[in-house]
Amino acid sequence: MPDILLSARNLVKSYSLRSHNDTPVLRGVSLEVARGEFLALMGPSGAGKSTLLHLLGLLDAPNSGYTEFDIDKQIYDSRSLTSKSADFVRNKHIGFIFQFHHLLPEFTVLENVMTPALIAGLPVSEAKSRAKELLESTGLSHRAEHKPAEISGGEQQRAAIARALINEPALIIADEPTGNLDSANAAAILGIIAQLRDRRDLTFIVATHSTEVAALANRVVMMRDGMI
């Protein structure tokens, strides 16, 4: 039996638009992700990949269906999570990497990377030393005191990866992490992702159009028209 970290059952999601009938975006998606697995989600634009990642990451709620996490000997079921415990699961156990980095512009790179650790209640000194280590391992030590606007797109994305890792999450959810980068920067991010893949304690779900990213995966799931 594989050790399942995350199961999604019959996820249905539609968006209501005033001018249209409800358009179904996910039409009953079920998925199991094993601990330590590197899963790539592929499929045409509009297939529902980002929508699915949002539901898996508890960033949005389905119309029906549910997700269940088995983390740290605890079961978290999306149907019975309070918004406070969903916040806890997201902050402590899930790291997010998006196509656009969403770094906070007023803060330095170091402060951005530290922020999730401070939210989790880590002492400042410990958050800082972890953040410095992560900046070292993503090759960004020399940019620690810069603001996001003062570094390149590839560096911004590396900072976002460092930030996603600081609370030592069980799961990384990445949505087109190389989608906004030129090929040299995309290759650098790919190298970092390849290292993360080899960490058995980390589960990785990535939506991507990149065959290079998908080539790193243990399993590729194809989505089309809101189905797998």
Ligand X SMILES: Nc1ncnc2c1ncn2[C@@H]1O[C@H](COP(=O)(O)OP(=O)(O)OP(=O)(O)O)[C@@H](O)[C@H]1O
- For the CB of residue 28, give the shortest distance to Mg ion in the complex, in Å: 19
Q: Decide: is 157 part of the binding site for Mg ion (CB under 5 A).
A: no
- The full DSSP string for 168-213 is --SEEEEESTTTTS-HHHHHHHHHHHHHHHT-TT-EEEEE-S-HHH
User: What track of x and - describes contact with Mg ion for positions 18 through 57 (by CB under 5 A)?
Assistant: -------------------------------xx-------
The neighbour count for residue 181, using CB atoms within 10 Å, is: 20
Name the residue nearer to ligand X (CB basis): 41 or 172.
41
Tell the smallest beta-carbon distance from residue 180 to Mg ion (Å): 12
Least distance to ligand X, CB of residue 93, Å:
23
Nearer Cβ to Mg ion (167/208): 208
Nearest distance from C-beta of residue 206 to Mg ion, angstroms: 11
Nearer to ligand X, 7 or 180 (CB): 180
Asked whether the beta carbons of 193 and 162 are under 8 A apart, the reply is no
Nearer to ligand X by Cβ, of 50 and 203: the residue is 50
Residues lying near ligand X in the complex (CB under 6 A): 15, 17, 25, 45-51
What tokens were used for 63?
């119309």
Which tokens is 67 given? 């997700």
Of the pair 110, 206, the CB lying nearest Mg ion is at 206
Q: Which does 157 bind (CB under 5 to 8 A by kind): ligand X, Mg ion, none?
A: none
Give the rounded distance of the alpha carbon of 138 from its chain centre.
Answer: 17
Closest by CA position to 109, among listed 166, 168, 186, 59: 166
Q: Is 70 exposed, middle or buried (0-12, 13-18, 19+ CB in 10 A)?
A: middle
User: DSSP E strands: which ranges in the chain?
Assistant: 4-15, 23-34, 38-42, 64-71, 74-77, 94-97, 171-175, 203-207, 219-222
Task: Give 15 or 100: the residue with its C-beta nearer to ligand X.
Answer: 15
Choose the contact partner of 48 out of ligand X, Mg ion, none; CB within 5 to 8 A by kind.
ligand X
Minimum distance, C-beta of residue 50 to Mg ion, in the bound complex (Å): 3
Q: What residue ranges bind Mg ion (CB under 5 A)?
A: 49-50
